[in-house]
Structures are given as C-alpha cells and as structure tokens.
Structure 1
Amino acid sequence: MTGKKDLLAVLDFYLVTDSGLSKKGTLSDVQEAVAAGCRIVQYREKNKSTKEMVAEASQIKSICGADAIFLVNDRIDVALAVDADGVHIGQEDMPIDIARAILGADKIIGLTVHNISEAIEAERSGADYVGLSPIFDTATKSDAGTGIGTERIKDVKNAINIPVVAIGGINKQNCRSVIENGADSLVAISAVVCSDDVKRETQELIAVIKSASGRIC
C-alpha cells in the first residue's frame, strides 16, 4: 500500500515497533498486527546497525505488502534503501523541507508534535500528519515528558487540517477517550508488543477505535 491518498483511509490503530519491549520479536509483531487489520506500521529501531535495520525493514515491507502503509522512524536512509512509503520524524530530526527534498513529493512524512504551535508549523512545513505526544504519562520513551491529556487533542485537531495520531501511555482502557476527543488514529506500544497475543490485542483496539469513532466495524 502506497501513497498519501491511502493515509486517511487506514488511520485507526497505528503500530509502532519496539524490539526492546517485544515478547515475540518485531517481525512477529508486524505479522500479527497486519493480520489483525492494522493498516499502518512504523518501524522504530534504536539498537541495531544500519545493515541490520535495512534487512529487517525490507522484511517488514514485504509483510505489509498491499495491506499496510510502511513508515520508518527517523532513518531516512533506511526508508530510501527499502523504498518505504515514508518516514516519521521528531522535532530534533531533519527539517521537513529537507526530508521532503530527499524523499520526494509522493512519500508520507509524519512529525511528532507536543502542542498547537508545533502542529501548525508541521502542517505549514508540509507534514502529512502529526503524532501528538504524549497524551498520558509513558515509560516507553524516556524523554517523552508529562502527559498532556485528551482535551489537548481537540485543541490541536481544531487548529490543523491534517490527521492527528495520538501516542503516549494509551491502552484499551483509555483509548476510547482519545478517539472521542478527536484523534484520527492512535499508537499503543506497550499494550500491544508486550502482550502474549499481539493479534488479539490489535483486533480489540481496532474494535474500540471503530466504535468510538462511529466507523463501521
């Protein structure tokens, strides 16, 4: 699955990989999540060599195939090497205009934001979606900061015209409020990759998201 035209259509549960937390391994997590209906996958890896990342990213791209959009976190070189559908970058990473010049107009670029001003600037700079973080306190990312709460989702959503993906401390118990407050999609890393059954957890999250958003299951 490729192209920006597909982005809104696939936004419900968004898988971000984490090899440090995963019980079964990144490839298994992606296989189970995609089989469960996940339609957007971000490969986030901080502990492997570039060679290892390219090899693993290539395998993830094959798993995603025509079923899921495949993005790479931070590493534009890895995304280019495997012809991923795009990248997700942070506030301290490569500027969007440079990333866009390297990747081309057709690739998806997501940017992490923490407030309204960053979200507005992300849209102005050409981001295709924003990852709003952290919604709740989280131990998954040590530098994530204090949770901003679900009410801030509404504020950001009302300020921009691109999709908002919520991330940070989200699980089945609180994900309904995240969607009800305006998020187009959400990430729940620990709740999924730390589980014994990634496929089941993904299916259950997707069901709650669709119910909360009024989408047809």
Structure 2
Amino acid sequence: MSRRVVVLTDRTQVPDGRSLRDVLDAAADGGLTTVLLREVDLPDDERAEIADHARSRGLEVVAAHRPVPGCSGVHLPAGTALPDVAMRWGRSCHDRADLARAAADGAWWATLSPYTVTASKPGYGPPLPVSAFAQPPLPVFALGGITPENAAAARSAGAWGVAVMGAVMRAADPAAVVAALLAAAG
C-alpha cells in the first residue's frame, strides 16, 4: 500500500440512494489511491467486479481475507495462516504481540485497532494506548474511529498511515472526507 490513507469498504454503511461504487468513485475523486476490499460475504466473482470497478478508477485494490484476481495484495485476519499465493500481504492486529508475529511472518503491513472508539463496531475496544503505535516493527495503519480530526494524531503516535471505513462509507461527501484525511495524514 503506497499511500498513508487506505479506505476499507463496507457496503452496509453506505447511505440509501448511493452504492459502494458511488463511494469508491467519490473517494478516487478525492485523491484516494488504495482501497481494501472487504465485502467478504460476497461470492468471489462479485468481489472481482467491485475490484475491477475500483481499478478502473485508478485505485490499487487489496483484498480482505482471500485473494481476488488482479488485486495487489491480501489482508488477513489476526491469527490466520499465511497466504498460499505469492503476493504482498498484511494482517489485522490488535496488540503489540500481533504486530511482532505479523512482522516475523513476513507481512508487508498491518492494521492496528482500535485506535479509538468506532461507530462501525460499537462496543469494540477498548481503544489501544497511544504507545501501542510507537516504533512498530512494520508499517502500521491505525484503524478504528479514524477521522480527519484525529488522523494526524495517529501518525504522530507512530502509525505509518491510517485506515478508514465508516468516516468515508457513511459520509455525505466521501471525496471531501478523503481529501481531508490525505491532508491530515500527510
């Protein structure tokens, strides 16, 4: 993942009257370059169609949980086996021990969550101490409750970048939110 902001998809959070593709289009218009395609409940062919659309908008696509043809990597849940395909991969982590395991296993990046309270997963937490993000053993994206208002603080705490879902998926103006995140996260 090449930029300091990555957006995770969740079509269930997209407001009525818009589609996930609409949000991806707006996010690309706002300057987003990397999307982490979740939608793990969908069949692979439907995920591939979403990925194709995102790539048509110039977005690098990383697939969650399992590879999708044409994606640049795969992002695995914490504690799962290493991918059996030759591609870049990352892992969801929830503490420093998870980060150490991901780095030792050869992950290229990790998400570390929750950074703060998150509306996307009510009751998930508690938020990690800021020290959890200091000097990680691999590039870490702070995840969980990230907004344009706290993205710079997450970077200052030691996160390489920020991973955002709800703030973009639920936004009235996803392009503006992405632009603000990019400005805040550097």
Higher strand share: 2
CA–CA distance in 2 between the matches of 1:65 and 1:110?
23
Are 2:19 and 1:25 equivalent residues in the alignment?
A: yes
Gap runs ≥5 in structure 2: none
Assess, with a 3 A threshold, how the Cα gap between structure 1 residues 202 and 117 changes in structure 2: closer, same or farther.
same
User: What is the TM-score normalised by the length of structure 2?
Assistant: 0.89
Deviations 1:137-173 (A, max 9, x none): 223136843110333211xxx241x211110011122
**SS at 1:145's partner residue?**
coil
**146, 165, 184: which one pairs with 1:170?**
146
- Give the equivalent residue in structure 1 for 2:39: 45
Which amino acid is 1:88 matched to? H
Verify the 8 A CA contact 1:15 1:41 in the aligned structure 2: yes
2 CA distance for matches of 1:66 and 1:32? 10
State how far apart, in whole Å, the 2-side matches of 1:188 and 1:40 are: 11
Check if 1:109 corresponds to 2:89: yes
Q: In structure 1, how many angstroms separate the alpha carbons of the residues matched to 2:147 and 2:156?
A: 14
Alpha-carbon distance between aligned partners in 2 of 1:28 and 1:57, rounded to the nearest angstrom: 17
Q: 1:72 aligns with which of 57, 63, 69?
A: 63
Cα distance, 1:123 vs. partner? Answer: 0.8
Give the residue type in structure 2 aligned to 1:177.
A
Q: Conserved in 2, the CA contact under 8 Å of 1:34 and 1:68?
A: yes
Map 1:10-21; keep pairs closer than 5 Å.
10-21=2-13
* Distance (whole Å) between structure 1 residues aligned to residue 78 and residue 47 of structure 2: 25
5 Å matches for 1:54-93?
A: 54-65=45-56, 67-76=58-67, 79=68, 82-93=69-80
Q: Judging changes above 3 Å, is the alpha-carbon distance between structure 1 residues 41 and 26 closer, same or farther for their aligned structure 2 residues?
A: same
How far residue 28 of structure 1 moved from its aligned partner, in angstroms, is 1.3
SS of residue in 2 equivalent to 1:27: helix
C-alpha root-mean-square deviation of aligned residues, in Å? 2.0
Give the helix-richer structure, 1 or 2: 1
What number of residue pairs does the alignment pair up?
Answer: 184
Contact 1:133 1:144 in 2 (8 A): no
For structure 1, list consecutive stretches of 5 or more residues without a partner in the other structure. 1-6, 211-217
